[in-house]
Chains A and B, each alone.
Chain A
């Protein structure tokens, strides 16, 4: 049992409050108990500690020891130039620390952007009186007053509503407003129609609600919590550098001690041996490695920006090259998001013949059950609705009507209904997914006359719908009901309107794939990168599009949203191990789980996202990719890369570039190590055969940090090797 299941009286009892609200004393007490209603970042390592960590990793410790030994020997045996050496090594540690810190540090502004979505002030009832308080002082049990244009301050259970419509976009990604009621409801709390969530905007109407969760315990806070707590972990390059430095450190120390002992055995003095050991260590340690890697990544990120992929964290340049799975949205990324009505079907009629009564009715519904508009020669609104409006305008002249009410589309109901007065009559027009429209119908329009909907007709509708979906079309069903009389607005309840309807027909809408996508998919296949499609569309449409772009060749695993929520992690792991996977009827809240399961299996995951609730998945992935055109500020802040053209092919181009950068870094790491040998061998010869020392320790440092960096960078900007 949760708060949305309770009656109004039970809500008050459970939260120990009344319709008159809390007293000021009680509110103060609760503010102390539950803390302020604000979004904050989870505790993380302070910046200072992060900076100090750059001085305590293995390579730095080794250099500190070297510097320490140099300072001690200067103190014990002055005049050997050891002071300069100590200072130089300390300088190297500092330079490396600053370079690495700057590379890793990124100002975290996601939480700041999330905070911006909550209101500053809120009107509440305290002890029977209405008053305005700072939103951060809202506490569980407060009765808040909701009115048009305001943002909801905290998760609240509605106790009174008048035509209340909210936009839940920050939480669900759905931009269409949804109606809220105050009666008890079943199902999940997150999908409840009597709960106003923090961050949602009141689009119209007003109401009162009792706060039950504040701050980081709201659904909005949950997104903030996850966004700030989850981490992608070290990139492959960072791991590689850790490994390499440990090996070098071990080798340098081992060689230093070994040759110190050899020198001792052949009778060299302690100080000669000591200088030799320090020199050997310095010669082996690649002081120029980190700055060179950083500069190479900077150049890689510039090249990517030219290809419309904006990189936010430098290490992402190389991480992109190691991606093994890309989880991508369909609409707008794989497809153009330019919808067009391609097929019209009515029962018993010729396909799409304008002038038939069924087609006329179908067009009328498409036009009046629609929120898109045609203003000054331009269409405005949702791409699907624009496609319907375009088809309807082309087919039929303007209609005189008055919209009385609307039951908006939402992702759970998967339908939309409008009440319209047309020529003195009132009609309810409904459009939506076939499986959600057909059960509402008891009749079907045939030859202009409503007739009983028989099983054979249902079967025909279902089969036609499936065949259109199999062609990659997004299929919408249309139905209507003639209402007895003009219904007053207060009586607009879905269950009273959406029943005993007349089924009219289907429209198949095409969202053509982007032309570059098939080639990009082919490149992914060649490079061994798995692509996972995550879409809100039905399975058949998703599958047809996937086949069209060459993403699916065999028999893929298709996981629908409602099955996904019931699956255990183990079951999901097994499904994701299959070669071709499509997630259909999904919502953004599911993405993070898909990413986590893939990462636990050892995959390097890139994921696309645009909404506020995509932020945790974008942070969890090795590469979070936000959409530059349609993405929210929160998604862009949480991402590692921004696609300036929202195009899947750009991701693949960036991955190719990332692989090139990785290859180039490997080349110059080899080069840097190779030059360590000519620096070390003269030292060994100097120790063993007493030949004059050709390079001083200071000269070696100058070579490592100065002259070596330029040719190394030259290797770093090499273009990709042609494929054989």
Chain B
């Protein structure tokens, strides 16, 4: 793994970022996020197209042109960039490249099937996030008008793993777009058997802010990132979408689901809900770096 120490001693940084590009427009937009992150972190950007078996000539040309456009744009903005063309199974080929090149994070666009299939069972997105030995940022592109996100919504769970990488990724995206972060946590409602649901004011909710979120904020503060926080009771998925829509946020950055299929089936899965109905672009980060 090529991750290097951050100059300010804040943990790891990315040095090599790979963007998986194909003939679809959303993969090109997803690669633009990778490009901005590479520019901010001064990483080497890999633009990678793996032609699947039986790909049409038109699709091949489309993907090739997308890589070319991205390549020139990266060069123009001073980003060190390499393009990789290969053929075969995209997941296995990308895995191979990640291993040989020591890639820190892979950006891939979600496909239609990710949204249609429940719990992304058997989808390329799920395979990528499970198989790749590096971090994965799955990008769902839905709005082509918000090119540089000015406000980023960061939903947080009560228990956050990989805090160092999550904060690093969020802070670098924030720096790349000079945006403002809005941290958001949907708390479980407090109910008593006889009194029913208890109403708490925002100040009272804030006193119940989970420890991991405080740690996340502490890490963010070290990057001097502007942010606001908000806690609200209710179901996570629905409230994340209401928050994003009502405040017109440009991008949502959230951690990947750690729920099992059975758990998701019984209790639902907020990441899946947001993925399906997000009102703005969404990045789901599956971090790999352990907290130091």
Query: Using a CB–CB distance below 8 Å, which chain A residues touch chain B?
Result: 1-4, 6, 13-16, 25-26, 29-30, 32-35, 42-43, 140-141, 155, 157, 189-190, 195, 212-213, 216-217, 221-222, 225-226, 229-230, 234, 239, 242-243, 246-247, 250, 568-570, 573, 592-593, 596, 600-602, 616
Asked if B261 is at the interface (CB within 8 A of a chain A CB), the reply is no
Cβ of A157: which chain B residues have Cβ within 8 Å of it? 145
A-side contacts of B245, CB under 8 Å: 222, 225-226, 229
A155: chain B residues within 8 A (beta carbon)? 145
Known contacts: A246-B193, A596-B246. The answer to whether A212 contacts B202 by CB under 8 A is no
The reply to whether the CB of B104 lies closer than 8 angstroms to some CB of chain A is: no
Are the CB atoms of B202 and A570 closer together than 8 Å?
Answer: yes
Q: How far is the CB of B55 from chain A (nearest CB, A)?
A: 13
Q: Is B147 an interface residue (CB 8 A)?
A: yes
Q: Measured between C-beta atoms, what is the minimum distance from A155 to chain B in Å?
A: 6
**Min CB gap A197→B, angstroms:** 11
Extra A-B contacts (17), CB below 8 Å, given A234-B197, A601-B201: A3-B145, A16-B25, A16-B66, A32-B112, A33-B25, A189-B145, A212-B144, A213-B142, A217-B143, A225-B241, A229-B241, A239-B196, A569-B230, A573-B202, A593-B246, A596-B246, A601-B202
Q: Which residues of B contact A (CB under 8 A)?
A: 23-26, 28, 58, 62, 66, 69, 111-112, 141-148, 150, 193-197, 199, 201-202, 228, 230, 232, 238, 241-242, 245-246, 248, 273, 276-277, 279-280
Do A216 and B277 form a contact, CB below 8 Å, given A226-B246, A600-B232, A602-B199? yes
Q: Nearest-CB distance from A43 to chain B (Å)?
A: 7
Show 21 A/B contacts (Cβ-Cβ < 8 Å), sorted by A. Answer: A1-B148, A3-B144, A13-B69, A16-B66, A29-B23, A33-B25, A33-B141, A34-B26, A42-B277, A43-B276, A43-B277, A189-B145, A212-B145, A222-B245, A226-B245, A230-B242, A239-B197, A246-B196, A250-B194, A600-B232, A616-B246
Q: Which residues of A contact B25 (CB under 8 A)?
A: 16, 29-30, 33, 140-141
Interface pair B144/A247, CB less than 8 Å apart:
no
User: Taking CB as reference atom, which chain A residue is nearest B23?
Assistant: A29
Cα distance A596–B147 when bound, in Å?
Answer: 29
A33-B25, A33-B112, A225-B241 known; A568 vs B143 contact (CB < 8 Å): no
Q: What residue in chain A is nearest B58 (Cβ atoms)?
A: A25
A35 to B114, CA, bound (A): 13
List A contacts of B199 (CB < 8 A): 602
The closest CB in chain B to the CB of A596 belongs to: B246
B119 to chain A, nearest CB (A): 15
Known: A212-B144, A222-B245, A569-B202. A229 touches B238 (CB 8 A): yes
CB–CB B277/A2 < 8 A: no
| Residue in chain B with minimal CB distance to A139 | B25
Tell whether, in the assembled complex, residue A34 and residue B142 are in contact, meaning their CB atoms are under 8 Å apart.
yes
Q: Which residues of B contact A596 (CB under 8 A)?
A: 246
Shortest Cβ distance from A323 into chain B, in angstroms?
16
Query: How far is B242's CA from A225's CA once the two chains are assembled, in angstroms?
Result: 8
**B66, B193, B279: which contacts A216 (Cβ < 8 A)?**
B279
Q: Chain A contacts of B228 at CB under 8 A?
A: 568-569
Q: Decide if A2 touches B241 in the complex (CB within 8 Å).
A: no
Counting chain A CB atoms within 10 Å of each CB, the highest count among B26, B66, B142 belongs to B142
Query: Majority SS of interface residues in chain A?
Result: helix
Nearest first, the 4 A-B pairs at minimum CB distance are A212-B145, A3-B145, A1-B148, A212-B144
Complex Cα gap A518–B9 (Å):
65
A509 vs B119: C-alpha distance when bound (angstroms): 61
Instruction: Say yes or no: A1 contacts B28, CB within 8 Å.
Output: no
* Smallest beta-carbon distance A210→chain B, Å: 9
CA gap between A189 and B25 in the complex, in Å = 22
Report which of A15, A243, A573, A616 forms a contact with B144, defined as CB distance below 8 A. A15
Q: Which residues of chain B are near A243, meaning CB under 8 Å?
A: 194-196
> Once the chains are docked, how many angstroms separate the CA of A140 from the CA of B241?
22
Contacts of B273 in A (CB 8 A): 43
| Distance in angstroms between the alpha carbons of A573 and B201 in the assembled complex | 10
CA A80 to CA B156, docked complex, whole Å: 59
- Return A437 CB to nearest CB of chain B, in Å: 31
Q: In the complex, what distance in Å separates the CA atom of A59 from the CA atom of B144?
A: 51
Q: In the complex, what's the smallest C-beta–C-beta distance from B148 to chain A, in angstroms?
A: 4
CB of B258, distance to nearest CB on chain A (Å): 22
Closest to B56 in A: A25
A157 closest partner in B (C-beta): B145
CA distance A216 to B144 in the complex (A): 13
Q: B28 touching A16 by the CB < 8 A rule?
A: yes
Is there contact, CB below 8 Å, between B279 and A225? yes
Chain B residues, CB < 8 A from A234: 197
Q: Which residues of A contact B276 (CB under 8 A)?
A: 43
A141 to B141, CA, bound (A): 14
Q: How far is B198's CA from A239's CA once the two chains are assembled, in angstroms?
A: 11
Q: Within 8 Å CB of A602, what residues of B?
A: 199, 201
How far, in angstroms, from A3 to B250 measured CA to CA in the complex?
Answer: 12
B24 touches A600 (CB 8 A): no
Instruction: Find B26's partner among A26, A33, A42, A229 (CB 8 Å cutoff).
Output: A33
Most buried by A among B66, B141, B196, B201: B196
Residue of A nearest to B242 (CB): A229
Check A246 against B202 for contact (C-beta < 8 Å).
Answer: no
**Contact B242–A213 (Cβ < 8 Å):** no
Cβ–Cβ contact A42 & B241, under 8 A: yes
Contacts of B62 in A (CB 8 A): 26
Complex: how many Å from CA A43 to CA B118?
Answer: 14
Supposing A2-B146, A593-B246 touch, asked if A222 and B279 sit within 8 A by C-beta, the answer is yes
Point out the residues of chain B lying under 8 angstroms from A26, CB to CB: 62
Let me know if A247 and B277 touch, CB within 8 A. no
Q: Which residues of B contact A568 (CB under 8 A)?
A: 228
Closest to A42 in B: B277
Whether the pair A225, B277 counts as a contact (CB closer than 8 A) is: yes
Least CB distance from B182 to A in Å reads 10
The reply to whether A600 and B202 form a contact with Cβ atoms under 8 Å apart is: yes
Write the chain A residue with the least CB distance to B280.
A217
B139 to chain A, nearest CB (A): 12
**Closest chain B residue to A22 by CB distance?**
B25
Chain B residues within an 8 Å CB radius of A229: 238, 241-242, 245
Distance (whole angstroms) from the CB of B277 to the closest CB of chain A: 6
The smallest C-beta distance from B31 to any residue of chain A, in angstroms, reads 12
- B23 CB contacts on chain A under 8 angstroms: 29
The CA-CA distance from A43 to B246 in the complex, in Å, is 18
| Shortest distance between the CB of A62 and any CB in chain B (Å) | 14
Q: Tell me, rounded to whole Å, the shortest Cβ–Cβ distance linking A256 to chain B.
A: 18
Known: A33-B112, A34-B142, A593-B246. A600 touches B148 (CB 8 A): no
- Rounded to whole Å, the gap between the CB of A670 and the closest CB of chain B is 18
Minimum distance in angstroms from A336 CB to a CB of chain B: 33
Nearest CB in chain B to that of A599: its residue: B199
In the assembly, what is the distance between CA of A207 and CA of B242, in Å?
34
How far is B244's CA from A225's CA once the two chains are assembled, in angstroms? 11
Complex-state Cα separation, A195 to B111, whole angstroms:
28
Q: Chain B residues with Cβ under 8 A from A30's Cβ?
A: 25
Q: In whole Å, how far is A25's beta carbon from the nearest beta carbon of chain B?
A: 7
In the assembled complex, how far is the CB of residue A182 from the closest CB belonging to chain B, in whole angstroms?
A: 15
Please, how many angstroms separate the alpha-carbon atoms of A155 and B142 in the complex? 13
**Nearest chain B residue, comparing its CB with the CB of A34:** B142
The interface residues of chain A lying within 8 Å CB-to-CB of B150 are 2
CA distance A146 to B135 in the complex (A): 45
User: In whole angstroms, what is the CA distance A592 to B199 when docked?
Assistant: 20
**Bound CA–CA A250/B277 (angstroms):** 41
Contact of A3 among B69, B147, B279, B280 (CB under 8 A): B147
CB distance from A340 to the nearest CB of B (A): 38
Task: Closest B residue to A601 by CB, please name it.
Answer: B201
Known contacts A15-B144, A16-B28; is-contact A246 B197 (Cβ 8 Å)? no
**B279 and A2: CB pair below 8 A?**
no
Q: Is the CB of B246 within 8 A of A213?
A: no
Q: Smallest distance from the beta carbon of A496 to chain B beta carbons, Å?
A: 29
Q: Are B242 and A600 in contact (CB under 8 A)?
A: no
Write the nearest CB–CB distance from B47 to chain A, whole angstroms.
Answer: 15
A101 → B minimal CB distance (Å): 20
Q: A14-B147, A155-B145, A601-B201 are known contacts. Are A29 and B24 too (CB-CB below 8 A)? A: yes
